Amino acid sequence: MSYSAIAAQELAVRALIHIADHPELASALLASSGLKPEALRQAAQEPDFCMHVLDFLLEDDRRVLEFAKSMSIRPEEVLSARIALGGPGSFGWEPD
């Protein structure tokens, strides 16, 4: 599936909700972002933070698989959404 920037940002917000529902993931995300819990709502509206949320999931196959299963999407859609937010080349590859 190809994502628009808006759809990708929506998926990232759903990913953030998923992460918030799992305390160990929420702690790890907060540690990696340097944010305090009260700053998450504001940060979630920023495209760069949405990319960070998707990057956080993509760091670990288990995270991606669990999130994809909870959303009833294919795991590769997480990467598709990340690329839609950052553009081609933003995740270590260039288009042909």
pLDDT in tens, 25-76: 999 999 988 888 888 778 877 878 889 999 999 999 999 999 999 999 999 9
Higher pLDDT residue, 7 or 1?
7
* Residue that the structure tokens 């759903």 belong to: 14
* Residue that the structure tokens 């509206």 belong to: 45
Q: From CA 1, how far away is CA 27, in angstroms rounded?
A: 30
pTM recorded for the entire structure: 0.84
